[in-house]
Amino acid sequence: MLRQVTADRYVTPLRAGGSVPGIVEADDLGTYVVKFTGAAQGLKALVAEVIVGELARALGLRFPELVLVDFDPAIATDEPHQEVQDLLRASAGLNLGMDYLSGAADFTPKVAQTFDVDPLEAGRIVWLDALTVNVDRTRHSSNLMIWPMLGVAPPKLWLIDHGAALVFHHRWDASAPEKSAPEKAYDFRQHALGGHTPDTRAADAELAPRVTEELLRAIAAEVPDAWLADEPGFATPDEVREAYVGYLLARVRASAAWLPTDFPTREQLADEDARRAAKTQQGRPDWLKRVPDLHGKPAAQQDWSVHLG
């Protein structure tokens, strides 16, 4: 089960993301990036974070620890921005925290050109995203971090931010589950790791047998009842959990229908980027053409926290 901690210091909001998560210190001496229940994305984003994040961990992928954070808005009365205060006041009680990887760097397209990713590791991540229908791990919004960056150990890829996964739960029908189409394929050619020749077939052979009904039930049980209580078409939180289990189990059994295997090479991606850059420059005023590429900062100068949504 997810550990539960109590927030005792609100450090700062992260305004780069639409959900405005915040950095919070807790009574276990940990520091967490907290996504709040009062955010505009709603509770389904938090449900997706738990299910996909814990599934990633169970399959051996690197993902920061998740905790349930008991949050009292009274600890953040010094926050000067009214909209953030409104968010915090609407989020009293249990929220979701992710272990803060201090100093981690964003996996940008420029970093991807030089960072070596094993094809099987790339395949495992792509496979997980395809299974959970995660549409938000693209080349220009990777939700991948490189950590640690201080030379203590070789830097590795870490997964973050799965709130946009499980897109089926925005439109499922409890009386007609076939509408969710568990065999549906998605276009993953622009996946953040597509240029690293992901071996999705080997990943499928390795991971699909491990996604069992027992595992999915254990993961779904970690979602708090309150986050599932008001789902239209379902009488109880346990019915919603069963729907997640049933869908993901059906989807993993249909992997032959949705397995992504067609990815552009790094050279093709580089050519595409060059064409996009050239097209972007056309018609721009001379002064704007001289503005530096702020998205191409060296990895060591980037902080993962500003990219969380």
Cα 252 from Cα 208, distance rounded (Å): 6
Is 120 in the same domain as 36?
no
Residue type at 240?
V
Is 76 in the same domain as 109?
no
Q: What percent of the chain has pLDDT over 70?
A: 88
Residue 65 lies in a domain: yes
Query: For residue 6, what are the β-bridge partners?
Result: 70
Is 82 in the same domain as 117?
no
Residue 199's domain comprises 105-258
pLDDT of 258-281, one tens digit each?
999 999 887 888 888 788 778 777
Residue type at 215?
L
Residue 263 lies in a domain: no
Residue 225 lies in a domain: yes
Is 171 in the same domain as 189?
yes
Which residues, 6 or more positions from 290, have their beta carbon under 8 angstroms from its beta carbon?
Answer: none
Is 94 in the same domain as 195?
no
59 neighbors 210 (Cβ within 8 angstroms): yes
Is 88 in the same domain as 199?
no
Is 70 in the same domain as 134?
no
Q: Which of 243, 258, 273 is the last residue of a domain?
A: 258
Q: At what angle do helices 237-253 and 213-220 cross, to 10 degrees?
A: 140
Number of domains observed in the structure of the chain = 2
Give the global pTM. 0.88
pLDDT of 111-131, one tens digit each?
998 999 999 999 999 999 999
CA nearest to 96, candidates 149, 57, 39: 39
- SS3 for 11-25 is EEECCCCCCCCEEEE
